[in-house]
Amino acid sequence: LTFKLIDDAGGTFKLVGANAIQLAKPVDFEKSPTKTVTFEVSDGKFTVVKSFTINIADVNEAPSALTLSNSRVAETAAVDTLIGTFSAVDPEGDPVDYWLKDSAGGTFWIVDNKLYLNDTLNYETQQSYSITVVVSNASGSFTKNFVISVTDVLETIVGNSSSQTLNGGIGADKILAGGGNDTLFWERRRRPSLRRIRKWHYL
């Protein structure tokens, strides 16, 4: 007998040897739980064509495609501020668990699938933090790194009537020097110029 595979389900299967078939590419139960193949068999005199349905067995797979709804937080945010919500794709739609593998030294924490602030922030000290999040189910886990950006908040530095040295940082500052003979310092990533300073007010 001579066998021919005349419909290989879009290249999913291939004929091996005289009368066996083998997977030619990966299959996915969630996309297509069955495949249909068609064979032709001949003895040189008569030919028979028949189709077969092959059932794909479902396998519980690890979650994937982990995302975070928001990755920015203001430097003035209070401890326990909600930053964002994690979402992951589980092929079978099963419940998943989220946990922090690297919390940036305890700066953040997770409850269910929500990321919270666990420490005070200062834009002038650190502008971003890297965290590592793991999402898992009974079959495996998926790990992804995220960068949480700290946003600058305008800070007001107030002097008095005496002569003082008032220091700003690399972020946005509002300096109220008062009536003394004051010295102002501020930090910039580039050399400052009058055009780069937003407003001057003389009293």
The residue extents of the domains of the chain are 2-55, 64-151, 155-196
**Distance separating alpha carbons of residues 55 and 32, to the nearest angstrom:** 9
Average pLDDT, the chain: 83
The residue-averaged pLDDT of 89-102 equals: 91
Of 32-41, 43-52, 153-162, 179-188, the poorest mean pLDDT is in 179-188
Going by pLDDT thresholds of 50, 70 and 90, the confidence category of residue 173 is low
Identify the CATH class of 64-151: mainly beta
Q: What is the predicted pLDDT for the residue at 160? A: 56
Of 52-61, 78-87, 188-197, the poorest mean pLDDT is in 188-197
Residue 68 · residue 108 · CB < 8 Å: no
Hey, what amino acid is at 105? G
Going by pLDDT thresholds of 50, 70 and 90, the confidence category of residue 174 is low
**Distance separating alpha carbons of residues 102 and 180, to the nearest angstrom:** 48
Q: What is the predicted pLDDT for the residue at 68? A: 98
Q: What is the predicted pLDDT for the residue at 147? A: 98
**Distance separating alpha carbons of residues 141 and 86, to the nearest angstrom:** 14
Residue 133 above 90 pLDDT? Answer: yes
Q: What is the predicted pLDDT for the residue at 156? A: 63
Q: What is the predicted pLDDT for the residue at 139? A: 86
Residue 36 above 90 pLDDT? Answer: yes
The residue-averaged pLDDT of 32-59 equals: 91
The residue-averaged pLDDT of 98-127 equals: 96
Q: What is the predicted pLDDT for the residue at 202? A: 47
Region of 75 (left: φ > 0; alpha: ψ -120 to 50; beta: rest) is alpha
**Distance separating alpha carbons of residues 144 and 123, to the nearest angstrom:** 24
Residue 191 above 60 pLDDT? Answer: no
Q: How far is residue 145 CA from its own chain's centroid?
A: 7
Going by pLDDT thresholds of 50, 70 and 90, the confidence category of residue 203 is very low
Residue 60 above 80 pLDDT? Answer: no
The residue-averaged pLDDT of 23-47 equals: 89
